[in-house]
Amino acid sequence: MKLEDLENEVQKLIKNTVMYCYQCGKCSGSCPTTKVCPSYNPRRIAESLILGRWKKVLSSNEIWLCTLCHTCYENCPQNVGFSHVIIELRNIAARAGAAPDEFLSRVRQLAEVGRIAVISKAIERRRSELSLPELQASPDGIPRIMEATGLKLREG
């Protein structure tokens, strides 16, 4: 699917959320990602969306830098729910094939082995030294969850 085909969805999202943003900057001021990566700026992303630059936002890697900590959500005086806007934008970008490969490979790994991080020999050894139980991959339920949530469809 092309980005253009998803315009209605993006416009609806903007109309219901970001349009309430009055650019106070509280989100950027409290964002932990902005602290370590100043080029990431939630207020500026909101501004771009309001000004109609949604294609640029969806095509850039910015929306994938957010850690989804929800601090901006808690601090926003307008209840924009910016972290949820990011989730929606990611979903839309993924459907348009604009999700970064690193994210997609993690989804594939989750489907195949039930984990997004590989259990290395070093991790197993460290857990054993700390008397922690052996980690078990549990892929049985994962494919069913992915099917039910549509994650498999979005990956493709």
* Helix H or strand E segment including 121: helix 121-129
**Contact yes or no for 103/64 (Cβ under 8 A):** yes
Q: How far apart (Å, rounded) are the C-alpha atoms in residues 155 and 60? A: 19
Task: Show the site string, 33-72: x = touches ligand SF4 by CB under 6 A, - = not.
Answer: x--------xx--x-------------------xxxxxxx
For residue 9, the 8-state DSSP code is: H
Minimum distance, C-beta of residue 12 to ligand SF4, in the bound complex (Å) = 18
- 153 binding ligand SF4? (CB under 6 A): no
Q: Tokens at residue 107, please?
A: 């989804």
- 14 binding ligand SF4? (CB under 6 A): no
Binding site for ligand SF4 (CB under 6 A): 21-27, 31-33, 42-43, 46, 66-72, 75-78, 80, 82-83, 86
